[in-house]
Amino acid sequence: MSGLTKAAQDRIWIRDGGLCVYCGDWGEQIDHVIPLAHYGPSFDANLVVACRRCNNTKGGLLDVEFLTAAIYHLLTIGVDTDWFDEWQTV
């Protein structure tokens, strides 16, 4: 993914075990949970591993099923998700 350092990509890949957080298949890409098109930030709590199929299906959408899966995953592994509430008020 362009714009992310190799170190950032490695952190996300290791954190998520290389698996797509949406479907559990092997991941191939790093995805913004809140898409860049919706002003989603490029920090670790908004980045997850995704397979090509899920990432392409999700695209720039704010799909509730994708968001729910990603937020559940982030909460499960202990990532602070308070910023989602702040983002929603923007």
pLDDT digits (tens, 9 = 90+) for 52-80: 999 998 888 887 878 888 787 878 877 76
**pLDDT attached to residue 81:** 63
Domain total in the chain: 1
Domain extent for 10: 6-88
In a domain, 1, yes or no: no
Range with the poorest average pLDDT among 4-18, 36-50, 56-70: 56-70
In a domain, 76, yes or no: yes
62-81 as b/e, with b when 16 or more CB fall inside 10 Å? Answer: eeeebbebbbebbeeeebee
Amino acid at 73: H
* Highest mean pLDDT pick, 21-25, 28-32, 81-85: 28-32
